[in-house]
Amino acid sequence: MRGTLSQSSFRGFAFPHPATDQTFLVTALIFTAVFSGCATVSADKTSANPAAAKISVVPSNIDFKAVVVGQKNSQTVKITNSGADSLGLERLLVSGAGFTLSAAKSPLTLAPGQHVDLSVVFAPSAPAEASGSLLISSSGLKTPVSVPLLGSGANAAPALVASPTALNFGTRAVKSSTSQSVTLKNTGNIAISINSVNLANPAFSISGLANGLSLSPDQKVEFQVWFRPSAPGNSSSTITVGTSSLPTPVKLAVAGSATNSTVAPPSSVPSHSVTLDWNASASSVSGYHVYRSESSSGPFERLTSSLVASLNYKDTSVRPGGRYYYVVTAVEADGSESVYSNEVSADIPST
């Protein structure tokens, strides 16, 4: 923490340079990268034609991870003839419970350099682990190519979370207009459609959130709650957001008071910020971009509309009680941008 409780500070970013991929690390924070594989199989031809048949399969294995029972997910497999002669694929076969091959046509012949894209589908019927394989057979290969398939069925777990869970506008002047932002996030594993948004007290109103909005898993929407008091006194209400996927609506308490006197913004509404610091890239760059997410490993949203020339950035848009994750990129003069730095997190005090 830097200075007061309302400000958090972190140091320790790493930058892979856009041109050289050189990585600059600070402290013990580690940046890792994962690369998908490629399976290549060859087979010797007859002595009359000693050239080898070659087939490339990308990716070399498929993991669908968790798919909700009753739903399906698909991934594409690219098969390329990387040899010098035409290659016939006589059979394409998928095995394993819940795995299918969409619109597969065999036999088929691939000219040298030609490829075909196959769509493998996983639709689990039970909440259990599943495994199988995609078998690619060709008379030009010594043995068939097998692509392992993995996945698991999961029960539907709908969840919708509002952040923050309560708003207090403090004391405001009569007929003034003040807003605060609320984030509504789908933290479950199925899509959720909002079918009702209710707020009874006319001193409060909502913008940016309406019936019929659908949120996919991990998707979020930010909306504004307005306080426009028309008479002196205390006001309170509850925002209820209903969906057919949840047994009870999401509730958000709102409160505020009004006076005929002109008042300053209430000190009861906390204001926090996060200050980020990083070391300069060893190579010459035009500047940096800062990205933020509310989930570890992203997805990240860019906070900076233009390049940051300094080696620090202050994020003043954080909310009390939240947790945020940050990464930084370096940008060269030609506009090329590095991959993300290592990730740091910040916990914001609730008061």
Model confidence at 78: pLDDT above 70: yes
Taking all residues of the chain, what is their mean pLDDT, rounded to a whole number?
82
- For residue 13, the model assigns a pLDDT of 52
- For residue 99, the model assigns a pLDDT of 95
What are the chain's domains?
A: 7-26+278-347 (2.60.40.10), 39-154 (2.60.40.10), 160-259 (2.60.40.10)
Average pLDDT over residues 170-183: 90
Model confidence at 2: pLDDT above 90: no
Model confidence pLDDT, tens digit, residues 48-58: 333 456 889 99
| Per-residue tokens: 256 | 């505020």
Longest dimension (CA), the chain: 99
| Per-residue tokens: 340 | 């993300």
- For residue 16, the model assigns a pLDDT of 54
Model confidence pLDDT, tens digit, residues 179-232: 899 999 999 999 999 999 999 999 999 988 888 889 999 898 888 999 999 999
Q: In what side-by-side order are the strands of the sheet with 204-207?
A: 160-163, 178-186, 220-227, 204-207
Model confidence pLDDT, tens digit, residues 270-304: 578 888 888 888 788 889 999 999 888 888 889 98
What gap in Å lies between CA 337 and CA 339, rounded to an integer? 7
SS3 of residue 198 by DSSP: strand
- For residue 234, the model assigns a pLDDT of 94
What gap in Å lies between CA 258 and CA 250, rounded to an integer? 27
- For residue 273, the model assigns a pLDDT of 87
- For residue 335, the model assigns a pLDDT of 84
Say if pTM beats, i.e. exceeds, 0.75: no
- Under the banding of pLDDT at 50, 70 and 90, the label for residue 317 is confident
Under DSSP, the state recorded for 308 is B
Compute the Cα dihedral for 231, 235, 241, 247 and give only its sign: negative
> Look-up: residue for tokens 């000219």?
111
Model confidence at 122: pLDDT above 50: yes
* Number of CB atoms found within 10 A of residue 33's CB: 9
Q: Choose among 19, 16, 25, 12: nearest CA to 311.
A: 12
Model confidence at 1: pLDDT above 50: no
